[in-house]
Structures are given as structure tokens and as C-alpha cells.
A and B are shown apart, each in its own frame.
Chain A
Amino acid sequence: MRLSAVAVPLVLVLAASLTACGGSDDADPPASSQGATADGDDVAITVTREGDAFTPNGERVELAVDQTLVLTIDADEAGELHVHSTPEQEIEYDAGTSEHELTIDRPGVVEVESHEPDIVLLQLEVR
């Protein structure tokens, strides 16, 4: 049947791509890898708040599973950050400078967001 002829290139290309990324499969972090912090240092990010203005603005940050992200929050008023991991985490901060630690235990993209006003500060690419 002609349809099978269509399937041949598909299978070939997909097989090629599967073998191509076979190497990266090894880099797949195991589910309960505690080792990620051992070889990597902490990642440090400073968040500043002046009234309703925040920095950074939707920055992408690469992070390993279970690696510690140290957030230094420099704010002129107290507030709360929501970390949209599964399940959600919350970071409450006071006015002034404070330091907070954050780890994510599963691969994915996790947004760190301020509420009132709703602004995404960081997108953590956790691998």
C-alpha cells in the first residue's frame, strides 16, 4: 500500500531524532536526585521593588533540580511572591532587604510572580 511508503521517511526521521537525543537522555535527572546541589553552586538573584515597579521583569533563569536559588529581596514595602511550582510555594517578605531560599524538586518551567500588581518576575527553567 502507498501509505506505508509515506510512513518510511517519517519513521526514518523520527528514528534519527530519537537516536540524536539518546545522548541527552543520560543527562535526564533522576526523580529524587539530591546530588544536583553538590556539584553546582547556589544561584543568586536580586529582586527589587519600588512601589509597584519590580525588577527583574520576566527573566529566564536556569536552575537544576534541587539546586538552591537565593533570592535577595530589596523592597520598599512588604509583600508576597508566589512560586508556581507544583505544589505552589509562597515567599513573604518585609520592607528592607531580606534573603530567601528556594528549591524546585521537579523539572519544568516555574514562574515566580508578585501579586497586586500581577507581575511575573522570573521564569525558572528547572532541569
Chain B
Amino acid sequence: MRISAHGLGGAKDLPIPSELAIAGAVAALVISFTVLAIAWREPRYDVATSGRPAPMWLDRLVSSRALAVTARVLGMAFFLYVAAAAVLGKDSAVNPFLGTFYVLLWVGLVPASLLLGPFFKAVSPARTISMLFARVSGVPEGEGLRAYPERLGYWPAALGLFTFVWLELVYPNATDVGPVRLWCAAYLGIMLIGSAVWGTTFLARADPFEVYSSLVAKLSIWGRRDGRLVLRSPLANLDTFVARPGLVAVVGVLFGSTAFDSFRESTPWLKLVQSMSGSRVLPDTLALIGFSAGVAIVLTIATMATGVTSGTPRRALPDLFAHSVVPIIVGYIVAHYLTYFVEYGQRTLLDLSDPFTRGDDYLGTADLQINYWLSNHPTFLAVTKVVAVALGHVVGVVAAHDRAIRLLPRRHQLTGQLPLLVAMVGFTVGGLYLLFAA
């Protein structure tokens, strides 16, 4: 059977009703200006003091070597299992490698990181293999041949994320096993070479999945202060994310690509690209770049349009504020991928039981029935989506507000926040519009 040329999964969600989209947009506006008007005037979040220490037993458990090793062993075992399906399994949509890659890994790392903290870092096969290499060759753990250049920051991760979303959303054979396997092999190769040269710092800055997961993990309650495990509110936790060059690009790719995913299926765009001669790869690529760069540029301009103090150069502002867009991204990703994750995720669990498509049932999940409750309740689904988007917007606006009163000179605090606030309302309303129109 020939596989769908437009990504995994069958039916897509219905558009959200117009009244819900409008309600969400109004909520975004109201929330934004309420925060501006009534929220605190002194910064509340401080890395050095925020969070309450977790109970001693929990700290000991979470920090234990046994848990770390268990996570690595499980991560590696799962990686090898799926790699076997990727290499030996059939080239078809029921090969669980595809579902694991696009759904369980790419979408699943968001809820996993929200609940558990930096989840991918703990199970990452690239990190495990590079740690084993280091141990075998006697290199001190985490060290490379040279220091990772600070100027590079998160730029390699932004590039890696872009190649991923291009593969998923633009490349016509995205659901053939061969090209996806090639992408994974290249990814793994680059991660291993990079970590040999620059140590595990490279993985923390350049591994697209690790950066994405660690960014989302800042919206969890788990944090660390002076080595101790602490529990923080997601807002206080988000504030502890260390800004580095390239963070704006990471945020731009994550948000822009999700918006593009809605856009590419909208009727006007579909009609346009299909009426052009030639394949849709070029127009889709340009649109994906346009969406990603658009988000990054809007964010850059909106954060720089303020008065500054001598302590913070203007060009540092975009990266220092980029974290506040993360909650908006997470809200929008929940809205965009919830059904896909729940329903195609179940499909993948079934397929995983039979990795070589020969009728095996290794995990005992092959005969489970997929639950389509979510698809069958479109109103509930639409409301959940709008609530997720609105919630993301609140957290984002509050995070930006706290950062603004910390960084901006007092007389620019109110006016300095306005451009970013307008940009955030634009992102949220734009996202809602795409959920409504596409």
C-alpha cells in the first residue's frame, strides 16, 4: 500500500467554532491588559531564592544514581527496539518507527517534560552513548576536546529543529521509513561527534530534542537550587531558564512550524500550491521559513522597542524575553496536537507490539482497541484547545511582565512592555485564527 503523502494519521480535527475563537481572542486581550494594569511592580521571581526544597526522601530518590541508570537503560532499550523496527521492519505506515518518531517522541516529549522535568535529557540515547564512549576512552565525564563556543548558544538546536519540521511538514516522503531513518542516523552521528569535541554541553545546546524538552521542562514544578531539588511554580521555574544566543530562533521555529502545519492544510493555500505547476516543496519550504522567521523577527522587534538601562544592551533583549513565548507555544501545541497524540499515540502503541509487521505481539498491546472518545466529542475538544491557548497566554504574559520590571528602567516599564504584549496577543490570536480557519 502506498502511504499518505501528507504526514501520519488519518482524519484531522474540525476547525474550532467562530464564537470560541473570538472568546479566546477576547480573553487574550483582557488578560494582557489586566496583567499590565494590576500585576506586581517589583520582580517576584529570583533564581537564587525561588522554590521550596522538596522532601529529603524525594530529593534522594530523584538524585540517586539508581534512578539515573534505570532511566538510561530504559531509554536505550526502547531506542534499540525501535531502531530494530526502523532497520529490519517493513517500509509502511504501520512500522512503529514512524509513529514513535513523529508522535511519541516529538509530541510526547511536551507532556513528559511538563510532568517530569527535563525528561529527554534523562533518557536521551545520544547522551547515553556519548557517556559510554567517554567512559571507555577515559575522558572525564562531560568534557570534550574544547570548550563549547558561547556565541553559538542554541543556534545549532534551532537548525536541527528546522530540519526536523521540514522533514515532517514539507518533505513529500516524510512517511517513508528510509528518509526518516537517514535523518535519525545523521542526527545521532552529529550528536556523537559534537559531544566528543565539545562535551555534553554540546548536547544541551545543539540536540533539538534535548533543548525542546528542557525548555518545556521549565514549565514543570521541578527545579534545582544549589544542587538541591526544589518545587517551584511553573512561572518561577520558567524564569530560571538561562537565555543564550539563538533562543529566539528556537522559539521561532517551534511556534512558526506549528502555525505552518495548520496553514498548509487551509483551503486557500492548498488551492494555490496545487494550481501551480511543479511540486509544492518549494512554496511549502518558503512558507515554513516565512512563518519561523516571522515569529522570530516580530519577537525581536517587539522586545527591542523599549528604553533600556546601561546594564542590558538592547540586542540582548530578544533572547532574554524569548522564554515568555514558551507557554504560548505549549498552549498552542496542546491545541494543535492533542487528538493526534492521544489517538495516533494509541495506534503507535499497538504497532509497537508488532515491530516487523509479521503478526507478533511482543508487548501484548496488539489487540487493544483505540479509544476515539476525543474525536467523537468535537465541542469538548474545541473548548479544551481554547482553554489551553488562553492558559498559555496568561503564563506567557505574566512571565514577560516580571522580566520587564526586572530589566527595564523604571520609566520605560509600562511603555516598554507594550510592543511585546501586542506581539503576544498577535501570536495567540493568530494561532486561534488558524485553529478556526484551517
Contact = CB atoms under 8 A, between A and B. Distances in A.
Nearest to B343: A86
Interface string B289-322: 0000000000000000000000000000000000
Contacts of B39: 2-3, 6
Interface in A1-42: 2-3, 5-10, 13-14, 16-18, 20-21, 24-25, 28, 31
A95 to B, nearest CB: 20
Interface string B1-20: 01011100111111101011
Nearest to A104: B11
Contacts, number: 138
Contacts of B11: 84-86, 104, 106, 108-110, 126
A85 B10 contact: yes
A49 interface: no
B386 A86 contact: no
Given A2-B40, A6-B34, A84-B4, A127 B14 contact: yes
A125 B19 contact: no
A59 B270 CA distance: 9
B2 A115 contact: yes
B40 A9 contact: no
A120 B27 CA distance: 36
A113 B5 contact: yes
A107 B17 contact: no
A24 B375 contact: no
A119 interface: yes
B31 interface: yes
A21 B375 contact: no
A126 to B, nearest CB: 7
A113 B275 CA distance: 15
B21 to A, nearest CB: 9
B146 interface: no
Interface residues of A, number: 45
A118 B172 contact: yes
A17 B19 contact: yes
B274 interface: yes
Contact of B372 (A25, A84, A86): A86
Contacts of A58: 267, 270-271, 274
B414 interface: no
Nearest to A80: B2
A6 B275 CA distance: 48
Interface stretch (B113-121, B160-168, B377-385): B377-385
Given A86-B9, A87-B10, A110-B10, A6 B372 contact: no
Scoring B13, B30, B172 by chain A CB atoms within 10 A of each residue's CB, the highest score goes to B30
B400 to A, nearest CB: 13
Interface string B390-415: 11001000100000000000000000
Closest 10 CB pairs of A and B: A17-B23, A86-B10, A108-B11, A58-B270, A13-B27, A118-B5, A109-B12, A31-B376, A9-B30, A107-B378
Given A3-B398, A115-B5, 16 more contacts: A3-B39, A6-B398, A9-B27, A10-B27, A10-B390, A21-B379, A84-B10, A84-B11, A85-B10, A86-B11, A110-B12, A111-B6, A111-B265, A113-B5, A120-B274, A125-B15
7 contacts: A6-B38, A6-B394, A13-B26, A21-B379, A28-B377, A86-B372, A107-B378
Interface of B: 2, 4-6, 9-15, 17, 19-20, 23-24, 26-27, 30-31, 34-35, 38-40, 172, 265, 267, 270-271, 274-275, 343, 372, 375-379, 382-383, 386-387, 390-391, 394, 398
